[in-house]
């Protein structure tokens, strides 16, 4: 039985693309049933359309508060039959409404080796600090920022001074690690999630 997956993204959607393709190839025992985006005009919307994935694009300013737009998202997730959520460059902090319904079933990818370099500027922060080992973490979302249970990590050494090269290599790692971690996570789920 293929698991039904929703992917949330805010930008170009390269991790979205990696996850969808992994599902299409059968590397992940899942089917992407919805893409949620908070940025009209984001490249990920076009990627979703190219793969025939239904989209829900919202503007947070159109809702009175976070709980309101998260209730709308939960309704969309339930209508699509989504069992799992993968955050793939989704730049909003997940709130209690979404966590209350999907807690323990929301994965995120972070471009650093957590617990180091949390937050939205992880690559820049790690590069500025001068680390020589960079990496990527897939973790469960909880009510902290980048603090949930780690599902998988992958690291690489880099001794150069080209920040763009570090980012390129991080994306390369993300596109391999996230599908693998998602499949491993799915294997560990009970049948009736």
- Look at the pTM and tell me if it is higher than 0.75: yes
Contacts of 159 (CB under 8 A, 6+ apart): 132
- Alpha-carbon distance of 191 to 78, in angstroms, equals 17
CA distances from 7 to 20, 96, 128, 161 (A): 9, 18, 30, 33
pLDDT for residue 71: 97
Give residue for tokens 């460059």: 89
What was the pLDDT predicted at 190?
78
Q: Which domains does the chain have, with CATH numbers?
A: 3-187 (3.40.50.170)
pLDDT digits (tens, 9 = 90+) for 148-188: 999 999 999 999 999 999 999 999 999 999 999 999 999 99
Single out the residue of 130, 149, 136 nearest to residue 15, CA to CA: 136
- pLDDT class for 48, splitting at 50, 70, 90? very high
The per-residue pLDDT for 92 is: 95
What does the pLDDT read at residue 1? Answer: 86
* pLDDT in the model for residue 119: 93
Closest to 135 in 3D by CA, of 102, 176, 187, 179 = 176
CA angle 21, 23, 26 (to 5 degrees): 110
The confidence score (pLDDT) of residue 97 equals 97
- Stretch 67-79: mean pLDDT, rounded? 97
At residue 191, does pLDDT exceed 90?
Answer: no
The pLDDT of residue 193 is 61
**pLDDT over threshold 70, residue 111:** yes
Cis peptide before 115 (omega within 30 of 0): yes
Residue positions in the annotated binding site?
13-15, 66, 91-94, 108
**If you average pLDDT over residues 107-123, what whole number do you get?**
96
pLDDT tier, 128 (very low <50, low <70, confident <90, very high otherwise): very high
Q: Taking residues 12-34, what's their average pLDDT? A: 98
User: Of 51, 110, 171, 175, which residue is the catalytic one?
Assistant: 110
Residue 138 has pLDDT above 90, yes or no: yes
| pLDDT reading at 45 higher than 90 | yes
Answer yes or no: 175 catalytic.
Answer: no
Q: What is the mean pLDDT of the chain?
A: 96
Distance CA 80, CA 34 (A): 7
Residue 192 has pLDDT above 80, yes or no: no
């Amino acid at each position: 039985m293929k698991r039904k997956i929703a992917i949330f993204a805010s930008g170009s959607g390269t991790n979205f693309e990696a996850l969808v393709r992994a599902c299409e190839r059968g590397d992940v025992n899942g089917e992407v049933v919805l893409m949620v985006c908070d940025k009209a005009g984001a490249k990920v919307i076009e990627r979703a359309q190219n793969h025939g994935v239904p989209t829900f694009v919202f503007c947070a300013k159109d809702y009175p508060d976070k709980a309101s737009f998260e209730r709308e998202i939960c309704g969309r997730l339930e209508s699509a039959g989504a069992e799992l959520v993968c955050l793939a460059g989704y730049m909003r902090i997940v709130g209690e409404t979404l966590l209350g319904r999907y807690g323990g079933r929301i994965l995120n990818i972070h471009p650093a080796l957590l617990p180091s370099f949390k937050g939205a500027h992880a690559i820049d922060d790690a590069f500025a600090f001068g680390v020589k080992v960079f990496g990527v973490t897939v973790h469960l979302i909880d009510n902290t920022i980048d603090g949930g249970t780690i599902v998988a990590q992958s690291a690489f050494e880099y001794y150069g001074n080209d920040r763009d090269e570090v980012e390129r290599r991080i994306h390369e790692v993300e596109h391999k690690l996230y599908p693998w971690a998602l499949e491993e996570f799915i294997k560990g789920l009970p049948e009736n999630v």
